[in-house]
Structure 1
Amino acid sequence: MSVLIAVAHGSRDPRSAETVAAVVDGVRLRRPDLDVRVAYLDLTEPAVGTVIGEVAAEGHSSAVVVPLLLGSAFHARVDLPGILDAARVRYPWMTFTQADVLGDDSRLVDVLRARVLGTGVDRDDPDVAVAVAAVGSSDSLANRRTRTLASRLLDGTEWSGAQVCFATGVESPPADAVARLTAAGPRRVVVAPWFLAPGLLIDRVFGAFDNSALRADVLGDHPLVADVVSSRFDEAPRYQPRIDESSTVRR
């Protein structure tokens, strides 16, 4: 049976690991042909190296590693390739293939829209405005790509607008999103997390909005998330990771 190691970022918030476990359970239901494991890059156990060691000890000859990340920056381009390079030296009989990140796949944008609708707003309500809350990066190109989520989210709706704000960094803080979304008058503002799982960062973003703002759920264990993970596994043999050994971008 082929092995899929789903690698999440990790968090001190236990809600994060619970949600990741639910995502992985969804992948297992969708892909009974795979042996699906979960591992973390930081702050949560089991670590990637630990899970790789277990897979090697069980006699497997290969594994596909799927990063449960929404952006391709330091963790996907430096941390994880480094871990896999070390594993190839330690377990020379094994083949490790790194898949692409989940990224801004159109199916995940559909999940984001579904989470907004899950707050009770109507897709045809022009008084609705959405603040999409993302992690943010010190890589301005990565932030630029994340900002495209705003226009894509509005497809098929009559919502008045959407703005991307970042929980970290100096670009587009939540306060700026509030100002832009409400500049034309009162709006029903929905805060929509572009996060796979809940945690302290999104709690901080929610705290930047007043109590009248509706709070959408994270992407979480929506069936389309498992669908994207499954696709990344299938596409892995054709994926060429972008490895940046000199990168100092941490997100």
Structure 2
Amino acid sequence: MTAPALIALAHGSRDPRSAATITALTERVACLRPDLRVEPAFLDLNEPSLDDVVDRLVAEGHGEIVVVPLLLTNAYHAQVDVPKAIEAARERHEGVGIIGTRILGIENAFFHVLDRRLRESLSDHRVRELDALVLAGAGSSDPVANALIARAARAWGAHHKLPTIAAFASSAPPAAGEAVRTHRADGRRHIAVGVLMLAPGFLPDRVTELAYEAGAVAVAEPLGAADEIAEVVLARYAVGAVDLVPLDLTFA
């Protein structure tokens, strides 16, 4: 029996680096599970769309599809856009099993990627000393999503035994520059910024610009196509694939 196909569903961006990163992440997933059909798709701004990928897979004979949303927080896109897109795909392909998993979220393994990206930036800028951190997320109008970033910042700071402020690229204060200036007002001078976003684009670039303007000594790249993230994609897929298996309620 053929395993369900896996669609890694990203939001999309006008920045071509973002789509390239999502494609690279999808390729890492496929390398980890060469037995699976793995495809990227985008909700908006990039091709292929979820509809296009589902149509192609169904035309090729795939009867089961698991959609893994590549989102770190459970904000509007996760609550509204993704379920709506998946439901529309189901309605268009009656009889095909199409299921969406929970989002990636922020797993402990992602902090290893954060550290690696930050070490790369520190090395590039020849920084040997840190006395404060900022952790920047995308930001949302949903306070629960922002609280998740704030909690991640506290955990990251506690691990490194450094004061850490959560910052946001949009929709909520403080911006990265404000967070850096808050540390500087407290006498900190060696402040680095981690970026808790998946792919490059306008928002990470804005974080970088504001942080350096405010005096940060290093700003990390986004998480990118890391093996740790690919493994979480597969973990979400595994749960979704099990959920597609019909329950046998026949009792002897």
TM over 0.5: yes
CA contact (8 A) 1:109 1:152 kept: no
Unmatched segments (≥5 aa) in structure 1: 240-251
Three-state SS of the structure 2 residue aligned to 1:209 is helix
- Correspondent of 2:40 among 38, 41, 57: 38
8 Å CA contact 2:129–2:190 kept in 1: the answer is no
Query: How many residues were matched structurally?
Result: 235
Contact 1:7 1:41 survives alignment (8 Å)? yes
2:35 and 2:183 mapped to 1: Cα distance? 46
Any idea what the Cα deviations from partners look like across 1:39-62, whole Å, max 9, x if unmatched?
A: 001100111111111111111111
Contact 1:137 1:169 in 2 (8 A): yes
What's the TM-score, normalizing by structure 1?
A: 0.87
Q: 1:143 is aligned with what amino acid?
A: N
| Structure that is richer in helix per residue | 2
The more displaced of 180-189 and 63-72 is 180-189
User: Could you tell me which amino acid in structure 2 is paired with residue 79 of structure 1?
Assistant: D
Which of 150, 155, 160 is the matching residue for 2:153? Answer: 150
Residues 142-221 of structure 1 aligned to structure 2 (within 5 Å): 142-158=145-161, 160-210=162-212, 212-213=215-216, 214-221=218-225
State yes or no: 1:223 paired with 2:227: yes
SS at match of 2:98: strand
C-alpha distance in 2 between matches for 1:119 and 1:207: 14
SS of the equivalent of 1:97 reads strand
Corresponding residue number in structure 1 for 2:111: 109
Alpha-carbon contact 1:112-1:153 (below 8 Å) kept: no
Moved more, 137-146 or 147-156: 147-156
155 and 118 in structure 1: CA distance in 2 versus 1, 3 angstrom threshold: farther
How far is 1:237 from its partner?
5.1
Q: For structure 2, which runs of at least 5 residues remain unmatched after alignment?
A: 244-252
Runs of 4+ in 1 over 4 A off after TM superposition: none
| SS across alignment from 1:210 | helix
Q: Which amino acid aligns with 1:218?
A: P
Query: Structure 1 stretch 94-103 or stretch 203-212: which is displaced more?
Result: 203-212
Structure 2 residue aligned with 1:49: 51
Q: Percent identity?
A: 37
Give the number of the structure with larger relative contact order, counting CA–CA contacts within 8 Å between residues 6 or more apart: 1
Partner SS state of residue 222, structure 2? coil
Q: How does 1:70-149 map to 2 (within 5 A)?
A: 70-120=72-122, 127-149=130-152
Per mean C-alpha deviation after superposition, the further-off stretch among 35-44 and 70-79 is: 70-79
- Tell me the C-alpha RMSD between the 2 structures: 1.8
What are the superposed Cα offsets for residues 184-221 of structure 1, whole Å, 9 maximum, x if unpaired?
32422212111110001111111112365212121001
Q: TM-score, normalised by structure 2?
A: 0.87
